[in-house]
Structure 1
Amino acid sequence: MSKKTVHEILEDEDFKALSSQKNVISIILTILELVLYFGFIALIAFNKPFLSQKLSGEGATTIGIPIAVGTILGSWVFTGIYIFWANSKYDAEVKKVKDNIIGG
């Protein structure tokens, strides 16, 4: 059983594909999270009157509260998407690459 060198692992097509997939999903989800979070912060900074509008008549809840909750929930959704992807696709590919490396 011969183990591969680091150079051979880095040049392996399965490893490159796995690394590329992880980078793509990570970059997409990071950009979406940054847009979500900084979009909310920009709304706070530049449109406070909009956020301070009451949702319904005399109620104490403003429009900003559901938007803030939505920002948090959106972050959870992005995390869930990554977890689903990692569990359903990424982990299987990691196992395949590991078996290929160990198996030689």
Structure 2
Amino acid sequence: MSTQASHAIRQHPQFAILVRKRSTLAWTLAALTLASYYLFMLVVAVAPASLHQPLQAGGVLSLGVPVGAAIIVFTWALTGYYVYRANTEFDRLTATILQESQP
């Protein structure tokens, strides 16, 4: 890509919108991911007995296992949501920017 084409893309008004939307989404999803992991670790550090409770009377599996698994599934879902937005809204904006920036 030439310097002139790169400059034209960066000057396109939709480019700033694309960058802002992508950055906002990425930071929001990163914060949600980190918050869920750190909250889990905080509960483990402060109140480990709450996660050590068995799921059923006399059971071996504790509450911490499904909660940990749910956190992992939650972060996968966030990743899936980002991929969905990237493949729909962000790709559409990118195509518009590239098409309108071509001489």
Query: Normalised by the size of structure 1, how large is the TM-score?
Result: 0.88
Q: Which amino acid aligns with 1:53?
A: Q
Which ranges in structure 2 are unaligned for 5 or more consecutive residues? none
Cα distance in 1, alignment partners of residues 19 and 96 from structure 2: 13
Count of residues paired in the alignment: 101
Cα distance in 2, alignment partners of residues 83 and 9 from structure 1: 23
Which ranges in structure 1 are unaligned for 5 or more consecutive residues? none
Q: 1:22-55 CA deviation, whole Å, 9 max, x = no partner?
A: 0111111111111111111111111111111111
Cα distance in 2, alignment partners of residues 5 and 91 from structure 1: 18
Q: Which has the higher contact order (CA 8 A, sep 6+)?
A: 1
Alignment of 1:55-94 (within 5 A): 55-94=55-94
Q: Which amino acid aligns with 1:44?
A: V
How well do the aligned residues superpose, as a CA RMSD in angstroms?
Answer: 1.6
Q: Percent same amino acid among aligned pairs? A: 24
Task: Report how far residue 87 of structure 1 moved.
Answer: 1.0
